[in-house]
Amino acid sequence: MPESTTALRPYTPDDAASTLRCFRRAVHGTASRDYDAGQIQSWAAVDIATWGCRRAKTTTWVAERHGQLVGFSDIDDEGYIDMMFVDPDAGRLGVASALLEQLLTLAKCRGLGELTVHASVTARPFFESHGFVITAETQVELRGSVLTNYRMRLDLS
């Protein structure tokens, strides 16, 4: 496999710190163009124990390039995507698209009729470019900050 290829694999508990670091880098880096400093701080404030438990409750996949974790995403049993994050240094390289393709494969194998996501302002264009449609705009309170996000849906039938 060429070094520049994105490799996907299932998440393991050993990935907790790396996925949390990727999440924080994406929020502080990529999402900072759409949210203010207070919102970013509230969004990124999660401890490793809570993070590890959250990852264990869903099917999570990680993406690696050059042997380094550069992104991850997840899907629950109903087809809800809670997380889709890519390290800013790996942005625009197809990492998120590769992860979404993996989730689509899982969803189809599970016989799901749709995928749903609560996309950030930053993630909305990505999901729209992959066929998701907005079903609602929402304001979410998170640790003292209010963040805009979008409920989105992709019909798989």
* Structure-derived torsion over alpha carbons of residues 10, 11, 12, 18, reported in degrees to the nearest 10: 140
| 137 domain-assigned | no
- In this prediction the pTM is 0.93
Domain count across the chain: 1
User: Residue 142's pLDDT is what?
Assistant: 85
Condensed to tens digits (0 to 9), the pLDDT of residues 102-124 reads 999 999 999 999 999 999 999 99
| 149 domain-assigned | no
Calculate the alpha carbon distances from 120 to 9, 26, 125 in Å: 25, 12, 9
Report the C-alpha gap between 74 and 93 in whole angstroms.
19
| 41 domain-assigned | yes
> Which domain covers residue 15, as residue numbers?
7-112
Report the C-alpha gap between 35 and 107 in whole angstroms.
31
84: domain CATH number? 3.40.630.30
pLDDT averaged over 10-residue windows placed end to end, the chain, 157 residues = 75 96 96 93 92 91 95 97 96 95 97 97 97 96 90 96
